[in-house]
Amino acid sequence: MNQIEAMQIYVRVAELASFTQAAQRLGLPKASISTTVQRLENLLGTRLLHRTTRRVQMTQDGLAFYERCTDLLADMEEVQGMFRANPAELAGRLRVDMPLIMARDLVMPQLPAFMAAHPQLAVELSSTDRLVDPVREAFDCVVRVGTVSDFSLIARGLGYYRMINCVSPAYVTRFGTPQSLDELTGHRLVHYVPTLGAKSPGFEYLDANNGNQTRFLPMPGALTVNNSEAYQAACLAGLGLIQAPEASLRPLIDAGRLVEVLPAYRARPMLVSLLYANRRHLPRRTRLFMAWLAELLHPRLVGPDGESPAIWSALPDTA
């Protein structure tokens, strides 16, 4: 039994909590995955996984072994790259996740230059507004916009997105331009919810008369969407008002395709963070990709007040 390969298989089973999904991801028969884990357990003299018909869960020994495996595998990748002609060259597979608009408008146009500089690197880029599970779905790092509530992950705050309110010229022609909160009852909001069926809180704004507390104003609107591309497209089609990061809407405003409204009633700035698993060692490719991505994002971010520049500090090259 190749113990390095066995550890890689075990780590993937543990992260996905499934022999079937691990087999699909690794392109191996499910039987060989199961056999490899059993041999590991026999070699170590302990049970690593609790298995039932419905789920697979690490034991306490299995969790301790998982943590050591991830460290050892990261170290092995570093050792394998020690004697390359260019020590800074990245190699291996990198799996990342980020919001749809960020991937489309910011990362994809710049990614060819990054990959040309690292031709041995293979990137798996997931772009979704769903909150992925970085550990269970085996992501090296993810970009999260909004509050971070999973304290089992390492979160590096990069800055904030300034939020603005926009409508299309066609919408203005039909409904006019809202000038105050009171006028919003006669306007339409494109509702955004993470999961269809959930209730939209309405129009968000900061109440300057009460310490900039976040308030929500219920608004009419016939359309509800659950991803950022549909949200933006709905606004462009004149279906209602949206509240989104200025970084993604400014090019459309400058081109005359959208119009900013109610600048005195913006939503609270949204935190942008890089998240990754709590490991002592991260592969060099992950560290350098995160640093590259943070540098790309920095010009689009502001401080927590939504006005001052984001405080920039380069991500360390070592974990």
CB 40 within 8 A of CB 10: yes
C-beta atoms surrounding 79 within 10 Å: 9
CB 9 within 8 A of CB 16: no
Q: What are 253-303's pLDDT values in tens digits?
A: 999 999 999 999 999 999 999 998 866 567 788 889 999 999 999 999 999
Does the pLDDT value for residue 207 go beyond 70?
yes
Does the pLDDT value for residue 2 go beyond 90?
no
3-80 architecture in CATH? Orthogonal Bundle (1.10)
Can you give the pLDDT at residue 179? Answer: 95
| CA–CA gap between residue 276 and residue 196 (Å, rounded) | 28
Strand partners, 142: 97, 275
CATH class assigned to 91-161+270-300 = alpha beta
The structure's pTM equals 0.75
Equal fold, 91-161+270-300 vs 163-261: yes
Q: What are 137-186's pLDDT values in tens digits?
A: 778 899 999 888 777 788 899 999 999 999 999 999 999 999 999 999 99
User: Strand 270-277 relative to strand 141-145: parallel, antiparallel, unpaired?
Assistant: antiparallel
To which CATH superfamily is domain 163-261 assigned? Periplasmic binding protein-like II (3.40.190.10)
| CA–CA gap between residue 17 and residue 167 (Å, rounded) | 45
Can you give the pLDDT at residue 87? Answer: 47
What's the whole-number mean pLDDT along residues 105-114? 95
Domain assignments of the chain as residue spans, ordered by start = 3-80, 91-161+270-300, 163-261
| CA–CA gap between residue 166 and residue 184 (Å, rounded) | 13
CB 262 within 8 A of CB 268: no
C-beta atoms surrounding 8 within 10 Å: 16
Per-residue pLDDT band at 318 (split at 50, 70, 90): very low
Determine the 3-state secondary structure of 109 from DSSP.
Answer: helix
**What distance lies between CA 85 and its chain's CA centroid?**
33
Q: What are 227-242's pLDDT values in tens digits?
A: 999 999 999 999 999 9
